[in-house]
Structures are given as structure tokens and as C-alpha cells.
Structure 1
Amino acid sequence: MAKLDPAEIGKQLTVGEVARRSGVPVSTLHYYEAKGLIHCVRSSGQQRRYGRDVLRRVAVIKVAQRIGIPLAAIGEALASLPEGRTPTAADWARLSRLWRGELDARIAQLTRLRDQLDDCIGCGCLSIEACRLRNPLDSLSDQGSGPQLL
């Protein structure tokens, strides 16, 4: 790992530098900014400048997105972090605890879906009347066929 030049420590990053270092397109960084997930300051020439903490924040966003956390939930979590400070391992542990229950619920739902799919493949009907996968939670089917709420 290369040592950071002390002169570079306080230097703000351009949007291109953040894009290159984070592997995220400039357009995505602008989108994250518009959604309030990251923040910048403007130079005297109105160019975006980011603190180094934005690199860790972008990493948190990308990991959270990869595990399926919606951007709104990511935004809420990032809002709980102090602005201008790089998120720490303790911050990440706290955020991951917030999302663990949601992930456990999603895993359970996918497991149930997988198990139902196995049943469906065995039956092969994909019937709208009987198949739990084709027509889940159809509480109106007891009232007869066709539209029931018109």
C-alpha cells in the first residue's frame, strides 16, 4: 500500500478523481449527490470538490446496493454518520446491524419461494387457480372468477 503524501491529506478531490478511485461513473456520483448520499463543495469556478471521506461513503453505498438495500435506506443510514468524517469500522458494524434483519427476512422469503418452486416444478401446472407461485395471496378467488372489485 502506497503511503499518502502529507501534502495530499487535506486536498479535496475532483469528481473525476473520485470516479477513478471509487470505480463509479461521474454520472453516478452526480446522482448520489442529487439523492443526498454524498456531498461536495464548489470551487470558485463552480467545480465540484469532495473530501476524502466520500471515497469510503461511496464504498458503503456500493456494498449496500450489492446486498439489495434500497437507496432510501442507505441514505437514512448515511445521514446518521458525522459529515466530513470517514466512516469507521464501528460505523459499518452499526449500519450492517441495521440491515441484517431486512436481509434475514429476504433470505427467508427467497427460501420459501425456492421451496414452492420445487413443488411447482413437480406439478407443472402453473394454474392461475391453484398455483401459489402464479397467483400468490389471491384472497378474492373464493368469490368466483373474473374481476371482483369492479
Structure 2
Amino acid sequence: MTSAERVDTDEQTDLAARLRLVVGRLHRRIRIDGRESIPPLQLSALVTVEQHGPLRLSELARREAVTAPTMSRVLASLDDQGLVIRTPDPNDARGVRIVLSDKGAARLAEVRSHRTALVARRLARLDVEQRHILDAAMPALEALLVDDDD
């Protein structure tokens, strides 16, 4: 490895560390300031059902990287709150598929609106040039969200 390649690698590692730290802390601040009544795993499950539903419990558990018993408890709570609906699986008489209820969609919209307002207030603290820099960086940041298997 040449010294120029080493410098590029070191700079990339430093940038990765800074980005990880700022994204993690910003996410934590939004979560804390948001004070949502819905726990993070339940919220994440709702978003996954919205994006990929209808889903079987096992598929939802896999997508959320939790065990089926854990997801079963999450779904029971979401069902009790009326945020999801369990529908029969047309391919398996014993199975059910999970879909988002109207109430669940409304709750997600409420959480998103509140969190967007929190971020907007933080953005308002920046000067115009800093906001333009963030706007210009958005395509690169969004590209980081694409998984290798997409």
C-alpha cells in the first residue's frame, strides 16, 4: 500500500468514525426529544410492515433481526393497540399475515411528523451555508442506506 493509499484509508476511517458518532448521537437525541409512547422495536416493526407487508411473523422477525418469540410479543402489543391487523395467510391455513391498520398508519405519520419537526428545529440552528452543505451531501448520505444485496 502506498503512502497516498494509507492516507486515503486513514481519512476514510476517520470520516466513518465521525459520521457514525454524529448519526448515532443525532438519532438518540431525536428519540429522547420525541418521547414517543411506542418503544423502538415496535416502531421499527410498524415501519417494516408498512414497507414490506403483508408479512408473516417469521419474515418480520427475520427482517427485524429478532427471534420469533420476541416478535410475537411485539405483535401482541401492536395488535392490542390496534396498530396492526392479523389476516389469514392465503397460502397457509394455519398462518397469518400482518398488515398495518389505519390507526397504525396514522401513528406512524404522527411520529414522523414530530421527529421531522425536531430535526427542523435543529437545522434552524445552522447558518444558510451549513444547510446548503447538508442538502448537497444528501445524495451521498442516502447512498449509504443502500444495502449490498439491494
Query: One fold, TM greater than 0.5?
Result: no
Higher share of residues assigned strand: 2
Higher share of residues assigned helix: 2
